[in-house]
Amino acid sequence: MMLQVKNKQGCIFGLPDSGKSTLTSWILSKFGAAAIIYDTLNEYPDNPFDRYIPLNRGDVAEWEKVTRRIIAARRYQVYAVDEANRYMPSKNEKGGTLPAAARDLNDYRAHYDIGTLFLCRRPVQLNQDVTELSNYLIIFKLDGVNDRDYLNKLCVDLGDAVLNLKPYHFIIYQKGQGFNQFKPVPAHFATDKKMARPS
């Protein structure tokens, strides 16, 4: 799988137990101590990458403060945010505007020399400015009608392809280059070892 994460932005979508946390762990492990995740649900390992567990998982102000510190440190090559829709809700939801830190990451990510990954269950839950300005969308099986319609509007047949994915398989959509399907990453990267499965 060829996925250039550094200085790029990607979104990872998938329902619970679909494989998105396992894939994220696999990607971040490639960067080791140069990667950090905002571990909203406290489910990622303590190493080989860094993580921050929020004191209040729904507090946008805390997320912004930590994000600003991560940007200023210039230490990380990749910053992932789990449950990103809590901090960057869809424009269709009440208060669905991007916080200032999210706007900066969205607009000036390359200037900060950092790649970003935003995890969310469904694309319709995440702010459209984030989704539509991302270099990659990485998607596990979704069966919601709204998600399928939204993805089909982004790319012909993308929503239909996502609907027909096998368990733990995923699609990477890259703007202007269509999409490709991939097999599961190795099971030992599973964040919940009880959910580990053969690759």
Q: What is the rounded distance in angstroms from the CA atom of residue 143 to the CA atom of residue 16?
A: 13
Per the structure block, which two tokens stand in for 152?
A: 């089909």
pLDDT tens across 80-112, in order? Answer: 999 999 999 998 876 678 899 999 888 888 788
Range of weakest confidence among 6-20, 27-41, 91-105, 161-175: 91-105
H or E element, residue 107:
helix 100-112
pLDDT tens across 127-140, in order? Answer: 999 998 999 999 99
Q: What is the rounded distance in angstroms from the CA atom of residue 133 to the CA atom of residue 135?
A: 7
Strands 170-174 and 50-52: unpaired
Q: Is the pLDDT of residue 196 over 50?
A: no
Amino acid at 75: R
**Mean pLDDT, to the nearest integer, of 19-31?**
93
Q: Is the pLDDT of residue 154 over 80?
A: yes
Q: Is the pLDDT of residue 2 over 60?
A: no
Q: Is the pLDDT of residue 193 over 50?
A: no
Q: What domains lie within the chain, and their CATH numbers?
A: 9-194 (3.40.50.300)
Percentage, residues of the chain above pLDDT 90:
74
Q: What is the rounded distance in angstroms from the CA atom of residue 74 to the CA atom of residue 89?
A: 26
Q: Is the pLDDT of residue 160 over 90?
A: yes
Q: Whose structure tokens read 């492990």?
A: 29
What is the distance of C-alpha 164 from the center of its chain? Answer: 21
> Which candidate, 97, 124, 93, places its Cα nearest to that of 15?
124
pLDDT of residue 46: 85
Length of the chain: 199
